[in-house]
Amino acid sequence: MNHLIAPSILSADFAHLKQDILMLNNSEADWIHVDVMDGVFVPNISFGFPVIAAVKNYALKPLDVHLMITNPDRYLEDFQKAGANVITVHYEACDHLDRTIHKIKELGCKAGVAINPHTPVSLLENVIEELDLALIMTVNPGFGGQKFIANSYHKIQQLRAMADEKNPDLFIEVDGGVSNHNSLALLKAGANVLVAGNAIFAAEDQLHAIAELKNISPD
Ligand code: DX5
Ligand code: ZN
């Protein structure tokens, strides 16, 4: 499968969010990555349902919602109603992960699980067959514009090997510090969805920055 690009609107200009969404509609982006932070699971607060619903009014691409919140089960239906197409919860934030994955699927969304930099890939072994997507955090979650953690390559390779065996259609998403300096290596390691915030929204020519990430060929 060709890899997907999911620009993170955490790095967008919130006073001009509509223009940024229209720009993404006209770009080679595949999904729109939406980072929700509760100030408890991560040391930052981003935005919630009204903002996601406003984005959904203009977005022509699927919303890839990354929940950095504790006990996400409480709000899954609200995120689906606000317009989420993919819902990714954190392994570290769920007591009953298998149940949470099934709830997401029952809502008609694709189900993802994210793991923090300290969390081993092996902990996904018993749920990987249920998943549509696994997200490897390549920074500590909470903020855009951080430095990529190099040890992540090994985790991506491990996850790719596990997915090849148990769930070859799994989306393997990487999130944090992704840029055109490391994206080829990330794809070669086995990722097929690249999230990028700063590398896109801080660029002078955002459409070009997206096209550059999209047009890399790992072969
Ligand atoms: C971090 C978020 C990321 C963030 C990525 O907690 O999950 O999606 O927006 O931003 P960059 O690409 O700037 O590291
Ligand atoms: Zn994210």
**35 flagged as catalytic:** yes
**Which candidate, 28, 26, 31, 34, places its Cα nearest to that of 9?**
34
Residue 178 CB–ligand 1 contact under 6 Å? yes
The preferred substitution site among 32, 175, 194 for testing ligand 1, maximizing ligand atoms within 8 Å of CB, is 175
Q: What is the pLDDT of residues 135-184, one digit of tens each?
A: 999 999 999 999 999 999 999 999 999 999 999 999 999 999 999 999 99
Amino acid at 52: I
Interval 109-117 mean pLDDT: 99
Residue 114's DSSP bridge partners are 90, 135
Domain ranges of the chain: 4-214
Is the interface score ipTM higher than 0.95? yes
The one catalytic residue in 20, 30, 35, 132 is 35
Domain 4-214 in CATH 3.40.190.10? The answer is: no
DSSP state of 115: E
Q: Is the pLDDT of residue 113 over 90?
A: yes
What mean pLDDT value characterizes the chain?
98
The preferred substitution site among 36, 135, 143, 174 for testing ligand 1, maximizing ligand atoms within 8 Å of CB, is 143
Query: Residue 1 has what pLDDT?
Result: 78
Q: What is the pLDDT of residues 17-59, one digit of tens each?
A: 999 999 999 999 999 999 999 999 999 999 999 999 999 999 9
Residue 141 CB–ligand 1 contact under 6 Å? yes
Residue 176 CB–ligand 1 contact under 6 Å? yes
**Which candidate, 62, 39, 41, places its Cα nearest to that of 52?**
62
